[in-house]
Structure 1
Amino acid sequence: MNTPEADEPRGTSRPHRSRTRKLLLSILSILLVIAVGCVGFAGYLAHRWNSGTQQLNVTELQSPNAADGPGTNILILGTDTRSEDDPDQAGITGTRSDAIMVAHIAANGSGVQVVSLPRDLWVPIKGHGEDKLNAAMSYGGANLAVSTIHDLIGVRIDHVAIIDFEGFRGLTDALGGVDVPVYKEFTSYGRTFPEGLNHLDGDGALSFVRARYPFADGDFQRIRNQQAFLKAVISKLVSVGTLTNPVKVTRAVDQLSPYLTVDDGLDARGMVSLLTKLRGVEISEFRFMTLPTGDPGTSEDGAEYLTVDEDALSELRTAFTYDTLDRTIQKMD
Structure 2
Amino acid sequence: MRAEKKRKKKKKVLAIVLSIIGIFILVAGGYAYFLWDKAAKTVASINEEINPSDRRVEKVDVNKKDPVSVLIMGVDERSGDSGRSDSLIYMAINPQTKTTEMVSIPRDTYTELVGKGTMDKINHSYAYGGTQMTIDTVENFLDVPVDYFVKVNMESFRDIVDTLGGVTVNSTFAFDYDGYSFNEGQLDLNGKEALAYSRMRYDDPRGDFGRQDRQRQVIEGIIDKGANISSITKFGDMFNVVEDNVKTNLSFDNMWDIQSNYKQAADHVVQHELKGTGGKIGGVYYYQVNEDDRLAISKELKENLEMDKTASKN
Coarse TM-score class (shorter-chain normalised): 0.7 to 0.9
1:1-333 alignment, distance < 5 Å: 31=25, 34-51=28-45, 53=46, 55-59=47-51, 62-66=52-56, 71-82=67-78, 94-108=82-96, 110-126=98-114, 127-238=116-227, 241-242=228-229, 244-263=230-249, 266-280=250-264, 285=267, 287=269, 289-299=271-281, 301-323=282-304
Q: In structure 2, how many angstroms separate the alpha carbons of the residues matched to 1:32 and 1:113?
A: 44
Q: Which whole-Å deviations, capped at 9, do the CAs of 1:282-332 have from their partners, x for residues lacking one?
A: 6xx274735322222432x3212111122322222122112189xxxxxxx
Q: Secondary structure of the equivalent of 2:170?
A: strand
8 Å Cα contact 1:80-1:164 kept in structure 2: yes
The structure-2 alpha-carbon separation of the partners of 1:274 and 1:48, relative to structure 1 and needing over 3 Å to count, comes to same
Specify every segment of 5 or more residues in structure 1 that has no aligned partner in the other structure, as ranges: 1-14, 85-92, 326-333
> How many residues matched?
290
Tell me the TM-score normalised to structure 1 length.
Answer: 0.75
What is the identity percentage for the equivalent residue pairs of Structure 1 and Structure 2? 24
CA RMSD across the alignment: 3.3
Q: In structure 2, how many angstroms separate the alpha carbons of the residues matched to 1:306 and 1:30?
A: 59
After TM superposition, give the deviation of residue 189 of structure 1 in Å.
Answer: 0.6
Q: In structure 2, how many angstroms separate the alpha carbons of the residues matched to 1:321 and 1:35?
A: 44
Q: Secondary structure of the equivalent of 1:163?
A: strand
Q: In structure 1, how many angstroms separate the alpha carbons of the residues matched to 2:92 and 2:260?
A: 15
The structure-2 alpha-carbon separation of the partners of 1:72 and 1:167, relative to structure 1 and needing over 3 Å to count, comes to same
1:10 corresponds to:
none
Q: Which whole-Å deviations, capped at 9, do the CAs of 1:178-226 have from their partners, x for residues lacking one?
A: 1111111000011001010011110111111111233244323212211
The structure-2 alpha-carbon separation of the partners of 1:317 and 1:67, relative to structure 1 and needing over 3 Å to count, comes to farther
8 Å Cα contact 2:68-2:305 kept in structure 1: no
Q: Secondary structure of the equivalent of 1:184?
A: coil
Q: Secondary structure of the equivalent of 1:108?
A: coil
8 Å Cα contact 1:117-1:290 kept in structure 2: no
Q: In structure 2, how many angstroms separate the alpha carbons of the residues matched to 1:145 and 1:261?
A: 14
One-letter code of the match for 2:275?
Answer: T
| Pair member with larger Rg | 1
Q: Which whole-Å deviations, capped at 9, do the CAs of 1:122-157 have from their partners, x for residues lacking one?
A: 112224232211122222211111111112222211
One-letter code of the match for 2:259?
Answer: L
The structure-2 alpha-carbon separation of the partners of 1:290 and 1:95, relative to structure 1 and needing over 3 Å to count, comes to farther
Q: In structure 1, how many angstroms separate the alpha carbons of the residues matched to 2:69 and 2:26?
A: 38
